[in-house]
């Protein structure tokens, strides 16, 4: 008897046979198969009850209604609100990406106080009590020194209750310096002010217009209320409405238009005057409407007839005189023709002369104040709060001149000239404390270096940003606001709408972090600052304030999500014929109608840099979310490189080829760019998109491309103080 | 060349010899009916039985972890007090989706206060209702994420009863332990109660083939180009 | 040291030299293994493949090694079925090369798929309409056959052969080898063909698409044929390289010439068929989809008409002429040139049918997509070469691969 | 009996995209990403490994300034019916593991991520580049996974994914119908996310077989065309354009060929 | 692959394709079983030890 290796062999065989007849191999194989179908690290979204919450989007001034799909208490998708007068179910890509902002990594999660140098990104977390008392103490000190007017606020908008609360706070406290970020609204406001005698927005009933003449407006690229504009475009397509786009670059709007007329940049005003020339010469204008006898009209007529014949306009604009003649006739003979301006998305102000010249076309054809025409629209009327009492310091402070000069002297017609803010601070106007609300001036104002210098001069900066943006990064204290999906807020949509709508943003989800509504925070600061400021804010909290302000509309706003009752939203002003002064009361019309030139050396800078707006890149307060940056074409952004558009002829002249690197130089700075050849851009121009080159935010956005604001500056319009720059001289050198 | 060759030859002869001896011995002993022959069989049986025991007894215990439900729920007690059977609590929502295990709010309709003298109810009210915390129920029949399962179509359209897939859970007075497959993380009720893979009841397993079997029988649809059965997207997402 | 393992009557290099050689190849192998692990653990983002290049270097390598490994099935077919008895002197090596090629192909496929652990789905959940299913099945089965053909060779190792069981097993397997060889030929016919079908059935890709009969596009037959034609050339090429490296003659010239002659005729007939196919495709199939022949060979930095000329004329017609002529075969330089060209031809054909298919834009508003492999792809593609070198070295050293070696290299 | 019933119900979901209305704004792309849990990574500028089920192409007419023209063309999965519309689309029959399928009752080409093992043969087969491979593990920044929808499976690294015509919306709509005792749904009840979001209303979606649906008439428009029709892929996405050069860009033509 | 797999259909494609496959597998399987089985048998019962094929 001997146990040899064959016994062990036998044991093994027996074991294997037993194993084969046991569930181990089969079950394990099956289970492994299942295991490989879903790795443990791949997220599995929890299921639950699906509900929809109606709210409003605040990511741009468009004022769209949204409907947010929720699964239990998670928001999972933002959709356009069906039946909303602005967007009726449609929604833009930025609005769709809102949840990436809500749940994104770039939120400021709790009040922060700066620990290191400004912009260094070192912060200590503080409580809300500490944060508010700190700000209140600073304000107290300022007031004590009697320098209440050195407090300023830059807000993304001046519409709605939250900006109104901030403005009220400043006023009671004793500062006139409530500013809003610059836009074409500034220009339209001044134009209305000088030609009609009151400040109003301009609204366009584009849905019913019969002919659209756009002077570089990105009608389908985010101008006005973007979704509404795209919907209007579709209705034009359907009805066969003619659209003519005047622009140096084949933008999407130009491509979509029936006719694209390339124009020398900055000479759009001259084309408008040339068209006016033809219209007047051929007596195609509405005599009854312009009141031929009015002195404003006569001065205007004399000017255009003598200086802006198609011949001379051809020289200025580069557009053939035949084209001008034909366009003028086409425009004037059409039913309900509308001329419109505001470059790109209308984020820049432009010259007053351009707005006046374009508005003159609308006036000449009499398409004012009627269906398919142009309207003057007052600011929303529903914010009517009781008067307040301020103390002596406050009363004196509010009477002082604004830092940006708006409202006094030669800037008398302007409401806000934030474009002048940085220059004013740098040249000595003191700002001791700055509130920054829903805006990112360090990033989005032109001439970044200038703005940064100005910010360095301001001793205390309070950011209310929900996100760690460039301005928040350069502030001293951050009081993070809820994002719009976590808060109540009235959202007036006024951008270019002839019938304004007020929507209600509602908390779709409970606040995700230790943030506070900016409306509540300003109320708390007011309380902490004490009388008389505190007395001007009698509300328990922001929601009470909003409910009280909305009054009997509160219920409707909650139920429908919006109100378009003109009595509530804003009053459309009735403009009687002849009321519109085409000369704007300006003594020397040649100052109004003058080309905007950079005075720099044309030898060192033979080209022009033209910033352009892209729908797929957010360029305001909101940084482009990951989904949106994903849609950016690789002819615009490749890796970290930005691509500038140039005509192949320009490329040849500069020894460049598709995809090659170049140094883009302007008087303001230089940047390394890549070159994209595009037949749709005028030779001699270099086009660069706005909205890239963020230094703050997360890795999905930061460090990608160049911020065009670093390369451009401001050019002050002598007639208005507006920033009339449309670009800057530049050179492109092969790198 | 010759030396190493010789050496190897020598070695090989040796080994060969051993082999030969061993096998001759084997034959010899076999003839006598004694020796390793018996051991060979014995060892075979030992190996065989040991693997069977490991496979059928120990392996299942290792494969599944047992978890207790947070609250021991008595189905019988509840079914008696409601009018509409299972659907009284396991409701369909108006959008046609199925709510599954009731939410706390539903339970709290009745259980705001402790109703009876069950210690489990006391735990439920004190730990969950009072603290407004959802009960982390372990769902026996939870399907993998890739599965789209519509209760509506099975219950409302096809008129199936709950027992077909869920078994007589409504007749239980206590919740059985939840057995989770350690490898896949799925419930044993879905992935096969019996280790043999043999189903005694329709609810013993709810894998794809089980669904497909019934679908083929009941719907007879041949919408899939690939399989001539129900198309993939009928049950998957 | 390892002399006990070395077959009798042959001379092998000293152990240290052998170890050094294996060490060098092993280092390359490890590099490849490292890249392979990267691909497995980090995913296919380690490659330069992209959504336009779902099939790239690896699939080419797969197709190429299988085509070249086709020498095994065709030589086996000639030896066992047709009865060309002389070929028994090279069949062992053909089998070994085939074994290396096929195991490499399987390994590359295992790296190439996005979810390697689910790879068996191709069997379990097979879709019989897919050419790839056919490839996977036949490839795996034929790999099994090659293993069966290779095992008896291992069993003939001097030490293993002493174990009676292995000795008998080897003997038994030899006895019925013809059955296995026949099965292998059957499987090979289909999987070589279905590899051709892989791009031939893509009716969305006018560059690859070919008409055919039943479910089989013409490329199905062309691939089988070209593998049968060029595979033996690869066997000859590797044999010649082995002879160079070892400094010995291992196979008699008449055997080589016989195989080369058959190959020559196969290449000749293949290339005629290929020319007809190309002509029909250029004149009928592609224009029906809106493409001129030159659309496929212009507007891009790499793929010019030269590649078609290279494949068909230089690597097809030329070797066919050389190998079919007695004079060409007798001239060692001409023979080697022809052999190398034929091997290159098969590789170019596979390259074009994989990578150029991906490169050609089909939507009018898309551009040509160029691709170059990442180092991980290159390393994993070289891995099989290193593995092949090692396996050949081990087999050559320890197994009686070349029956004629002793005779050709008599002891002095 | 069963056969007859199913014949009645045979639907063929498809899309008609009006390129005259399309502004290239990109809302459809993002709507699709948001609806379908599409992952994103830090650098998405390499378009060849960027997952966009619906991609907008920018077409140019090739002329020089100032005659240049551009047109945007959104490209979802075309849900090809294949030769003779029998469901043998280019990708379906090549999948070795039956991970992609064609549903004869809806005309939708499905992709089952848990079945796919990532051989990418379907991608090689698709002339529209509508299929995308997960080269990377999908990773959401901490907290962002909260917005993931439970209606669409999250994909894992190493599998192919593509547009499903938001089939989960069909499933949910059918559920609602069944709950309300209906067996059919209205046109508006099942619309894809891109269709719903499009600010320009450029996308129409519905049953191409149903004369009551908008797409039924739209597809017969004289300006309607499909991409690469000559390949006999038989796509279910139609495009409308009044511009001849755009229509011609939809397919390949020999140099002197008249359309 | 097997008739009990979800994807299996009793149609021509499966008959031809899977038929061919199983045919090949059967030959390989039976062949190898024969070789191994015979070798086992011969070894255990010490048969045919001296046959040599080369």
Here the CATH number for the domain that contains residue A628 is 2.40.40.20
Contacts of B228 in chain E (CB under 8 A): 9, 11
**Is C4 within 8 Å of B11 (Cβ atoms)?**
yes
pLDDT for E47 equals 64
From A308, A342, A372, give the residue that closes a domain.
A372
**DSSP string over B40-72:** HHHHHHHHHHHHHHIIIIIHHHHHEEEE--SS-
**Domain endpoint, select from A323, A341, A372:** A372
Q: What is the mean pLDDT of chain D?
A: 93
Distance separating alpha carbons of residues A167 and A183, to the nearest angstrom: 19
Q: At what angle do helices C253-280 and C88-112 cross, to 10 degrees?
A: 50
The pLDDT score that the predictor gives to residue B37 is: 63
Which among C124, C126, C174 is the nearest to E53, CB-wise? C174
Say yes or no for a CB contact (<8 Å) between D46 and C126: no
CB pairs under 8 A between B and D: 103
Query: Domain boundary residue among A333, A353, A372?
Result: A372
Q: Which residues contact D199 (CB under 8 A, 6 or more apart)?
A: A80, A87, A90, A91, A92, A226, A227, A230, A231, D23, D25, D27
**Is the CB of residue A469 less than 8 Å from the CB of residue A107?**
no
C interface test, pick of E7, E14, E28 with most C CB neighbours within 10 Å:
E28
Q: Let me know: does D131 contact C51? Beta carbons within 8 Å.
A: yes
pLDDT band at D259 (very low <50, low <70, confident <90, very high): low
Residue C68 scores a pLDDT above 60:
yes
Contacts of E44 in chain B (CB under 8 A): 26
Residue of chain C with shortest Cα separation from A33: C118
Nearest CA in chain B to D86: B225
Quote the tokens at residue A555. 């219920």
Chains contacting B (3+ CB pairs below 8 angstroms): A, C, D, E
Q: Which of C50, C114, C290 sits opposite D48 (nearest CB)?
A: C50
pLDDT in tens, C272-286: 999 999 999 999 999
Read out DSSP for D114-131?
Answer: TT-----HHHHH-TT---
Nearest in space to C74 (alpha carbons), one of C345, C262, C320: C262
Residues in D closer than 8 angstroms to C119, CB to CB, are 117
Chain B residue numbers with beta carbons less than 8 Å from the beta carbon of A5 are none
- Contact list, D137 vs chain A (CB under 8 Å): 41-42
CATH number of the domain enclosing A296: 3.40.228.10
Q: CATH for C49-371?
A: 1.20.1630.10
Chain centroid to Cα A332, Å, comes to: 32
- All chains having 3 or more CB pairs closer than 8 angstroms to chain E: B, C
| Residue D196 contacts residue D150 (beta carbons within 8 Å) | no
- A354 contact partners, CB below 8 Å, separation of at least 6: A187, A215, A268, A269, A272, A341, A724
Residue D95 with chain C: CB contacts under 8 Å:
127, 130
Contact of C410 with chain D, judged by CB distance below 8 Å, is answered with: no
For chain A, which chains pass the contact test of at least 3 CB pairs under 8 Å? Answer: B, C, D
Could you give the CA distance from residue D91 to residue D109 in angstroms, rounded to a whole number? 9
Degrees, nearest 5: CA angle A360-A365-A367: 90
* Whole-number pLDDT of residue E10: 87
* pLDDT tens for each residue of A407-426: 888 898 999 999 999 999 99
The whole-number pLDDT of residue B10 equals 39
Q: In this predicted model, what pLDDT tens digit does every residue of C187-222 receive, in sequence order? A: 888 888 999 999 999 999 999 999 998 888 999 999
Instruction: State how far the Cα of D231 lies from the Cα of D236, in Å rounded to an integer.
Output: 14
Query: Residue A678, class by beta-carbon neighbours within 10 Å (0-12 exposed, 13-18 middle, 19+ buried)?
Result: buried
Quick check: D68 pLDDT over 90? yes
Q: How confident is the model at residue B17 (pLDDT cuts 50, 70, 90)?
A: very low
Q: Is A367 found in the same domain as A387?
A: no
Structural domains for chain D: 2-248 (3.30.70.20)
Instruction: State whether A263 and A338 are in the same domain.
Output: yes
**Residue ranges per domain, chain C?**
49-371
Taking the Cβ of residue A237 and every Cβ of chain B, the question of whether any pair is shorter than 8 Å is answered with no
| CA angle, residues A542, A548, A552, in degrees to nearest 5 | 135
Please tell me which of the candidates D106, D167, D178 has its beta carbon nearest to residue B96: D178
A90 with D201: Cβ contact below 8 A: yes
Q: Residue D244: what are its φ and ψ, rounded to 5°?
A: -60, -40
Residue C359's closest chain D neighbor by CA?
Answer: D124
Say if D71 is an interface residue toward chain A (CB within 8 Å): yes
Nearest CB among C125, C138, C141 relative to E5 is that of C125
pLDDT of residue D1: 37
- HEC sequence for A10-74: HHHHHHHHHHHCCCHHHHHHHHHHHHHHCCCCCCCCCCCCEEEEEEECCCCCCCCEEEEEEECCE
Three-class SS state of A588: coil
pLDDT at A370 over 80: yes
Cis preceding-peptide flag for B7 (omega within 30 of 0) = no
* Model confidence band, residue A427 (pLDDT cutoffs 50, 70, 90): very high
- Could you tell me if C371 and C351 are in contact, meaning their C-beta atoms sit under 8 angstroms apart? no
Sign of CA dihedral A409, A411, A416, A418: negative
Q: Is C134 on the interface with E (CB under 8 A)?
A: yes
Question: Is B232–D112 a contact, with Cβ atoms under 8 angstroms apart?
Answer: yes
Three-class HEC string of A241-299: CEEEEECCECCHHHHHCCEEECCCCCCHHHHHHHHHHHHHHCCCCCHHHHCCCCHHHHH
Which residues span the domain enclosing A28?
Answer: 5-37
Residue D148 pLDDT more than 70? yes
Structural domains in chain A (count): 4
pLDDT for the residue A292 = 67
Instruction: Report the number of secondary-structure helices (H) and strands (E) in chain A.
Output: 26, 27
H or E segment at A472? helix A470-473
Closest-CA residue of A relative to D155 is: A42
Does any CB of chain D come closer than 8 Å to the CB of residue C132? yes
For residue A642, the model assigns a pLDDT of 97
Regarding whether A368 and A397 lie in a shared domain, the answer is: no
pLDDT of residue B195: 84
Q: How far apart are CA C29 and CA C22, in angstroms?
A: 10
pLDDT tens string D72-105: 999 999 999 998 898 999 999 999 999 999 999 9
Which pLDDT belongs to residue E49? 53
Residue A285 burial by Cβ neighbours in a 10 Å radius (0-12, 13-18, 19+): buried
CA distance D5 to chain C (A): 28
Say whether B97 and D87 touch across the interface (CB within 8 A). no
Which residue numbers of C have CB closer than 8 Å to B's CBs? Answer: 3-4, 8, 11, 127, 129, 158-159, 162-164, 411
Residue of C40, C51, C52, C117 best to disrupt the A interface, most CBs of A under 10 A: C117
Give per-residue pLDDT as tens, A278-332. 999 999 998 877 876 778 889 999 999 999 999 999 999 999 999 999 999 999 9
- Measured between beta carbons, the chain B residues lying within 8 angstroms of E4 are 209
Is the same domain home to A233 and A251? Answer: yes
**pTM of the prediction?**
0.93
Looking at chain C, the whole-number percentage of residues with pLDDT higher than 70 is: 100
Could you read off the pLDDT of C335-382 as tens digits, one per residue? 999 999 999 999 999 999 999 999 999 999 999 999 999 999 999 999
A88 domain residue, yes or no: no
Residues of C in contact with D132 (CB under 8 A): 51
**B217 inside 8 A of chain D by CB:** no
- Tell me the mean pLDDT in the region A29-49: 86
Residues 6+ apart with CB under 8 A from B58: none
D121, pLDDT greater than 70: yes
Residue E12 contacts C, CB cutoff 8 Å:
no
Residue E39 is predicted with a pLDDT of 85
| Cβ atoms A81, A92 nearer than 8 A | no
Contact E9 B212 (CB under 8 A): no
Between the alpha carbon of residue D160 and those of residues A92, A345, A480, B65, the distances in Å are 28, 38, 41, 34
Task: Examine the domain organization and report whether A487 and A521 are in the same domain.
Answer: yes
Q: How far is E9 from chain B (nearest CA, A)?
A: 7
Tokens (6 digits) for A132? 């508010």
User: C126 and C137 in contact (C-beta within 8 Å)?
Assistant: yes
Work out the widest C-alpha separation in chain D, in whole angstroms.
64
B26-84: pLDDT as tens digits: 444 444 444 456 777 888 899 999 999 999 999 999 999 999 999 999 999 999 989 88
Question: In angstroms, rounded to a whole number, what is the distance separating the alpha carbons of residues A695 and A705?
Answer: 10
Which comes out higher in pLDDT, residue A124 or B20? A124
Residues A662 and A644: their CA atoms lie apart, in Å, by: 10
* pLDDT grade for D3, boundaries at 50, 70 and 90: very low
Q: What percent of chain A has pLDDT over 70?
A: 99
Give B159-205 pLDDT, tens digit per residue: 999 999 999 999 999 999 999 999 888 999 888 888 888 888 989 99
Among chain E residues, the shortest Cα distance to B222 is held by: E9
Q: What is the arithmetic mean of pLDDT over B113-139?
A: 90
Above 60 in pLDDT, residue D137? yes
- Nearest Cα residue in chain D from B151: D175
- Residues in chain A with CB shorter than 8 Å from the CB of C120 are 33
Residue A166 lies in a domain: yes
Contact A90/D56, CB-based, under 8 Å? no
Confidence class of residue A454 from pLDDT cuts 50, 70 and 90?
A: very high
Q: Over the stretch A510-524, which tens digit does the pLDDT of each residue have?
A: 999 999 999 999 999
The separation between the first and the last C-alpha atoms of chain E, rounded to the nearest angstrom, is: 41
Q: Is the peptide bond before C352 cis (omega within 30 degrees of 0)?
A: no
B82 touches chain A (CB under 8 A): no
Residues D193-209 have a mean pLDDT of 96
The phi-psi region of residue A15 (left if phi > 0; otherwise alpha if psi is between -120 and 50; otherwise beta) is: alpha
Chain A residues in contact with B103 by the CB 8 A cut-off are: 49
Nearest-Cα distance to chain B for D128, in Å, is 21
- How close does chain A come to C120, measured CA to CA in Å? 9
Residue C5 tokens, joined:
């393992």
pLDDT of residue C1: 65
Report residue D165's pLDDT band, with 50, 70 and 90 as the boundaries: very high
Q: Give the mean pLDDT of chain A.
A: 92
Q: What is the 3-state secondary structure (H, E, C) of A327-340?
A: HHHHHHHCCCEEEE
CA distance B237 to chain D (A): 6
In tens, the pLDDT along A655-670 reads 999 999 999 999 999 9
pLDDT at E43 over 80: no
User: Rounded to whole angstroms, how far apart are CA atoms A21 and B51?
Assistant: 9
| Cβ separation B8–C411 shorter than 8 A | no
Closest-CA residue of B relative to E6 is B209
Encoding tokens for residue E42? 């011969």
Least Cα distance to C169 among E51, A731, A534, E10 occurs for: E51
Is residue E44 scored above 90 in pLDDT? no
**Residue D38 and residue D88 in contact, taking contact as beta carbons nearer than 8 Å:** no
Spatial contact of D18 and D202, defined as CB atoms under 8 Å apart: yes
* Whole-number Å distance between alpha carbons of A313 and A270: 6
Above pLDDT 90, what percent of chain C? 74
Instruction: Name the residue among E6, E9, E44 with its Cβ closest to that of B212.
Output: E6
Q: What is the mean pLDDT of residues C229-255?
A: 93
Tokens of B90: 């396991």
Asked if residue B21 has pLDDT above 60, the reply is no
Give me chain C's average pLDDT, please: 92
Task: List, as ranges, residues 223-282 from C with C-beta within 8 Å of D.
Answer: none
pLDDT in tens, C133-168: 988 988 898 999 999 999 999 998 888 888 888 888
How close B192 gets to chain C, by Cα (Å)?
20
Question: Residue range A527-552: average pLDDT?
Answer: 93
Task: Test E13 with C129 for CB contact under 8 angstroms.
Answer: yes
* DSSP string computed for D55-97: EEEEEE--PPTTS--EEEEEE------BGGGSSB-TTGGG-TT
Give chain B's length. Answer: 237
DSSP string, A176-237: --EEE---HHHHHHHHHHHHHSS--EEEE-GGG-SEEEEEEE-TTTTSSSHHHHHHHHHHHH
Cα of A220 to nearest chain D Cα, Å: 7
Contact predicate C67/C228, CB 8 Å = no
């Amino acid at each position: 008897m001997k146990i040899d290796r064959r016994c062990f062999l036998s044991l093994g065989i027996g074991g294997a046979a037993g194993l084969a007849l046991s569930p181990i191999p089969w079950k394990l194989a099956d289970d492994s198969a299942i295991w490989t179908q879903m790795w443990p690290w791949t997220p599995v979204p929890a299921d639950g009850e699906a509900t929809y919450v109606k709210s409003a989007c605040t990511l741009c001034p468009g004022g769209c209604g949204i409907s947010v799909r929720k699964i239990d208490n998670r928001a999972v998708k933002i959709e356009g609100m069906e039946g909303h007068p602005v967007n009726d179910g449609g929604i833009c890509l930025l609005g769709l990406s809102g949840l990436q902002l809500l749940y994104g990594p770039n939120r400021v999660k709790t009040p922060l106080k700066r620990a290191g140098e400004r912009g260094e990104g070192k912060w200590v977390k503080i409580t809300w009590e500490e944060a508010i008392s700190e700000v209140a103490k600073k304000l107290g000190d300022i007031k004590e020194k009697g320098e209440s007017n050195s407090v300023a606020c830059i807000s993304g908008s001046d519409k709605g209750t939250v900006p109104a609360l901030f403005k009220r706070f400043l006023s009671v406290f004793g500062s006139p310096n409530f500013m809003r970020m610059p836009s074409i609204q500034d220009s339209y406001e001044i134009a209305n002010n000088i030609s009609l005698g009151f400040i109003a927005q301009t609204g366009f009933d584009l849905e019913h217009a019969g002919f659209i003449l756009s002077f570089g407006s990105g009608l389908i690229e985010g101008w006005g209320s973007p979704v509404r504009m795209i919907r209007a475009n579709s209705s034009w397509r359907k009805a066969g409405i003619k659209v003519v786009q005047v622009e140096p670059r084949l933008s999407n709007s130009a491509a979509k238009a029936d006719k694209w007329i390339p124009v020398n940049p900055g000479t759009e005003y001259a084309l408008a005057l040339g068209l006016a020339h033809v219209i007047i010469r051929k007596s195609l204008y509405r005599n009854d409407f312009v009141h031929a006898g009015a002195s404003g009209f006569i001065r205007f007529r004399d000017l255009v007839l003598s200086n802006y014949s198609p011949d001379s306009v051809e020289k200025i604009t580069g557009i053939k005189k035949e084209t001008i003649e034909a366009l003028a006739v086409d425009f004037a003979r059409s039913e309900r023709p509308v001329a419109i301006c505001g470059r790109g998305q209308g984020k820049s102000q432009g010259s007053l002369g351009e707005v006046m010249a374009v508005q003159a076309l609308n006036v000449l054809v009499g398409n004012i104040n009627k269906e398919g025409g142009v309207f003057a629209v007052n600011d929303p009327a529903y914010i009517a709060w009781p008067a307040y009492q301020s103390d002596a310091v406050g009363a004196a402070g509010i009477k002082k001149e604004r830092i940006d000069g708006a409202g006094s002297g030669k800037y008398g017609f302007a409401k806000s000239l934030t474009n002048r803010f940085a220059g004013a601070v740098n040249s000595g106007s003191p700002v001791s404390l700055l509130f920054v609300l829903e805006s990112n001036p360090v990033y989005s104002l032109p001439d970044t270096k200038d703005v940064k210098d100005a910010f360095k001069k301001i001793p205390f900066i309070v950011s209310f940003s929900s996100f760690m943006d460039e301005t928040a990064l350069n502030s001293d204290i951050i009081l993070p606001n809820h994002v719009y999906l976590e808060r109540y807020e009235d959202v007036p949509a006024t951008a270019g709408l002839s019938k304004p709508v007020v929507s209600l943003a509602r908390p779709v989800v409970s606040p995700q972090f230790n943030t506070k509504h900016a409306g509540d925070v300003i109320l708390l600061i007011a309380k902490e600052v004490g009388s008389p400021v505190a007395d001007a804010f009698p509300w328990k909290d922001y929601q009470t304030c909003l409910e009280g302000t909305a009054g009997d509309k509160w219920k409707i706003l909650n139920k429908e999500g919006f109100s378009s009752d003109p009595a509530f939203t804003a009053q459309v002003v009735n403009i009687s014929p002849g009321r519109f002064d085409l000369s704007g009361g300006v003594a020397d019309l040649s100052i109004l109608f003058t080309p905007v030139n950079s005075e720099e050396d044309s030898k060192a800078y033979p080209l022009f840099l033209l910033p352009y707006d892209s729908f797929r890149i957010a360029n305001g307060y909101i940084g482009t979310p990951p989904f949106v940056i994903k849609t950016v074409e690789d002819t615009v952004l490749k890796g970290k490189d930005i691509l500038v558009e140039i005509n192949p002829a320009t490329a040849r002249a500069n020894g460049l080829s598709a995809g090659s690197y170049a140094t883009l130089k302007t008087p303001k700075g230089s940047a390394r760019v890549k070159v994209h050849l595009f037949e749709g851009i005028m030779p001699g121009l270099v086009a660069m998109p706005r909205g890239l080159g963020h230094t703050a935010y997360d890795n999905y956005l930061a460090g990608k491309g160049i911020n065009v604001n670093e390369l451009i500056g401001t050019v002050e319009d002598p007639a208005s103080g507006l920033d009339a720059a449309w670009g800057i001289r530049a050179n492109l050198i092969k790198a | 060349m010759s030396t190493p060759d010789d050496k190897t030859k020598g070695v090989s002869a040796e080994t060969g010899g051993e082999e030969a001896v061993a096998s001759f011995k084997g034959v010899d002993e076999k003839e006598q009916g004694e020796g390793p022959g018996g051991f060979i069989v014995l060892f075979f049986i030992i190996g065989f039985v040991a693997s069977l025991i490991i496979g059928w007894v120990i392996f299942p215990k290792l494969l599944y972890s047992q978890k207790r439900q947070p609250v021991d729920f008595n189905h019988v007690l509840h079914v008696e007090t409601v009018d509409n059977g299972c659907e009284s609590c396991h409701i369909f929502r108006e959008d046609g989706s199925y709510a599954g295990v009731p939410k706390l709010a539903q339970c709290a309709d009745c259980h705001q206060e402790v109703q009876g003298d069950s210690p489990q109810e006391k735990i439920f009210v004190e730990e969950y209702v009072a603290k407004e915390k959802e009960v982390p129920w372990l769902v026996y029949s939870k399907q993998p994420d890739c599965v789209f399962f519509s209760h509506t179509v099975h219950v409302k359209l096809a008129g199936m009863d709950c027992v077909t897939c869920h078994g007589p859970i409504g007749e239980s007075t206590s919740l059985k332990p939840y057995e989770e497959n350690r490898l896949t993380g799925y419930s044993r009720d879905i992935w096969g109660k019996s280790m043999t893979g043999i189903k005694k009841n329709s609810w013993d397993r709810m894998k794809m083939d089980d669904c497909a079997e019934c679908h083929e029988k009941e719907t007879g649809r041949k919408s899939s180009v690939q399989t001539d059965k129900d198309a993939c997207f009928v049950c998957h997402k | 040291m390892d002399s006990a393992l070395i077959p009798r009557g042959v001379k092998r290099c000293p152990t240290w030299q052998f170890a050094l050689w294996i060490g060098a190849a092993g280092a390359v192998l490890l590099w490849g293994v490292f890249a392979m692990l990267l691909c497995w653990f980090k995913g296919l983002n380690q490659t330069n493949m992209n959504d336009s290049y779902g099939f790239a270097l690896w699939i080419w390598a797969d197709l190429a090694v299988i085509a070249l490994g086709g020498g095994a099935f065709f030589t086996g077919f000639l030896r066992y079925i047709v009865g060309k008895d002389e070929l028994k002197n090279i069949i062992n090596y053909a089998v070994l090369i085939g074994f290396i090629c096929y195991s490499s192909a399987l390994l590359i496929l295992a790296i190439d798929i996005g979810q390697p652990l689910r790879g068996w789905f191709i069997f379990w959940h097979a879709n019989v309409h897919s050419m790839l299913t056919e490839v996977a099945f036949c490839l795996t089965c034929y790999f099994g056959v090659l293993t069966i053909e290779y095992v008896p060779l291992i069993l003939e190792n001097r030490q293993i052969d002493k174990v009676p069981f292995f000795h008998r097993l080897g003997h038994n397997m030899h006895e019925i080898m013809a059955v296995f060889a026949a099965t292998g030929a059957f499987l090979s016919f289909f999987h070589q063909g279905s590899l051709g079908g892989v791009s031939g059935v893509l009716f969305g890709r006018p560059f690859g698409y070919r008409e055919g009969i039943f479910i089989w596009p013409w490329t199905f037959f062309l691939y089988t044929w070209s593998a049968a034609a060029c595979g033996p050339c690869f066997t000859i090429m590797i044999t010649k390289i082995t002879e160079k490296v070892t400094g010995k003659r291992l196979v008699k010239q008449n055997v080589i010439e016989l195989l080369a002659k058959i190959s020559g005729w196969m290449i000749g007939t293949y290339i005629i068929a290929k020319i007809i196919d190309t002509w029909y495709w250029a004149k009928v199939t592609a224009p029906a989809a809106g493409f001129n022949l030159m659309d496929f060979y212009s507007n891009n930095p790499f793929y010019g008409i030269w590649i078609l000329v290279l494949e068909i004329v230089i690597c097809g017609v030329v070797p066919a002429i050389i190998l079919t002529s007695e004079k060409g075969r007798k001239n060692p330089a001409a023979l080697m040139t022809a052999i190398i060209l034929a091997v290159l031809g098969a590789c170019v054909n596979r390259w074009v049918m994989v990578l150029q298919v991906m490169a050609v834009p089909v939507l009018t508003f898309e551009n040509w997509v160029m691709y170059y492999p990442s180092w991980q792809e290159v390393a994993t593609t070289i891995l099989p070469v290193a593995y092949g070198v090692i396996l050949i070295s081990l087999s050559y050293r320890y197994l009686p691969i070349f029956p004629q070696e002793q005779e050709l290299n008599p002891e002095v | 009996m069963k056969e007859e019933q199913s014949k009645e119900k045979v639907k063929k979901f498809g899309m008609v995209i009006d390129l005259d209305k399309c502004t290239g704004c990109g809302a459809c792309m993002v709507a699709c990403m948001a609806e379908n849990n599409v992952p994103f990574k830090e650098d998405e500028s390499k378009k060849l490994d960027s997952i966009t089920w619906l991609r907008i192409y920018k077409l140019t007419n090739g002329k020089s300034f100032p005659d240049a023209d551009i047109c945007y063309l959104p490209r979802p999965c075309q849900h090809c019916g294949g030769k003779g519309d029998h469901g043998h689309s280019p990708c379906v029959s090549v999948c070795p593991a039956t991970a992609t399928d064609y549903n004869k009752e809806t005309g939708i080409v499905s992709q089952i991520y848990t079945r796919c093992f990532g051989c990418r043969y379907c991608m090689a087969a698709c002339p529209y580049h509508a299929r995308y491979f997960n080269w990377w593990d999908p990773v959401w920044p901490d907290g962002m996974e909260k917005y993931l929808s439970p209606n669409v499976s999250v994909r894992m690294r190493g599998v192919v994914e593509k547009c499903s015509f938001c089939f989960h919306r069909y499933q949910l709509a059918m559920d609602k119908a069944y709950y309300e005792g209906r067996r059919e749904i209205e046109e508006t009840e099942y619309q894809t996310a891109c269709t719903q979001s499009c600010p320009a209303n450029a996308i129409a979606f519905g049953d191409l077989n149903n004369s009551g649906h908008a797409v039924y008439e739209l597809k017969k428009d004289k300006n309607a065309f499909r991409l690469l029709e000559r390949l006999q892929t038989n796509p279910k996405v139609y495009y409308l354009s009044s511009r001849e050069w755009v229509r011609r860009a939809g397919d390949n033509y020999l140099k002197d060929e008249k359309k | 692959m097997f008739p009990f797999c979800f994807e299996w259909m009793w149609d021509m494609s499966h008959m031809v394709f899977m038929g061919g496959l199983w045919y090949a597998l059967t030959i390989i399987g039976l062949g190898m079983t024969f070789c191994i089985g015979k070798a086992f048998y011969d070894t255990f019962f010490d048969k045919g030890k001296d046959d040599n094929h080369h």
